[in-house]
Amino acid sequence: MSEQPVACRIHVEALAPAFQPQAERWAQRLGLPLQVDDGEFALQVGEQGLQLQQLGPDAPGPVRVDFVEGGAAHRRLYGGGSGQMIAKAVGVAQGVRPRVLDATAGLGKDAFVLASLGCEMSLIERQPLIGALLEDGLARGAEDFDVAPIVARMRLLQGNSIEVMRNWEGEPPQVIYLDPMFPHREKTALVKKEMRLFRPLVGDDPDAPALLAAALALATHRVVVKRPRKAPCIEGPKPSHGLDGKSSRYDIYPKKALKA
């Protein structure tokens, strides 16, 4: 996602007086006001944590990161384990749990699935508002008995994904996973709500070819790119093969075999 949001009127607000100190801290950290006239979006702090709410009469409900309940919990319990397509794409197999960098983490859903399967995950979300939601969700997940061991395998990094990869310090990831924002349409209601919120804030990822190039230079074993099923590959080197699902596919760029 683009690092700088499109010009929107965004403010931070507490949903109850008890959360005002937290709201003030987020406002200062993100450089956002606590109140604006005719605001388009509100970053809200309340009992359920941090959430992003579009304002206006036809606005959808808020978006937050929740690894404890809802869709994340259902997928953790009933999602199919290592048989899931994303698991196969990154190379999860018997005795193989690669170190993965999710360089376009978004709300962390895919990273959470891989962490729940035992992968050590690094995450980068370069859009500060989305990164704040993700940070808050990880913090709340760490307080849950069942989810805490999973989010302990998820390390959130700050900064521009391309620059972080180009200046990587320490042991490089075996696999890098990319799911860039592209101007395409998804069909599910949940994705519609999230995309409706995110598009005005983050736009698309016009630097996807540079993102892919940086990933290919850093990953030791493979790069995986999630794409809409009928969309073209990212400009640049071609993947060796892909795994096709109903609405999306995974383009795989292998460098070295993953072994137990």
Amino acid at 128: P
Q: Is 166 annotated as a binding residue?
A: no
Residue 126 marked ligand-binding = yes
pLDDT per position as a tens digit, 52-81: 998 888 888 899 999 998 777 666 665 567
Topology of domain 68-252, CATH: Rossmann fold (3.40.50)
- Helices 189-202 and 128-141 meet at what angle, rounded to 10? 130
According to CATH, where is 3.40.1630 located in the chain? Answer: 8-52
CA-CA-CA-CA dihedral for 172, 120, 105, 224, to nearest 10: 60
Cβ atoms within 10 A of the Cβ of 256, count? 10
Q: Which ranges of the chain have pLDDT less than 70?
A: 1-8, 73-80, 182-205
- Answer CATH for 8-52 from 1.20.1420, 2.20.28, 3.30.1480, 3.40.1630: 3.40.1630
125 annotated among ligand-binding-site residues: yes
Closest CA to 110 of 85, 90, 86: 86
pTM of the model: 0.89
Taking 3-state DSSP, the helix, strand and coil percentages for the chain, each rounded to the nearest 5, stand at 35, 20, 45
Q: What is the pLDDT of residues 161-178, one digit of tens each?
A: 999 999 999 999 999 999
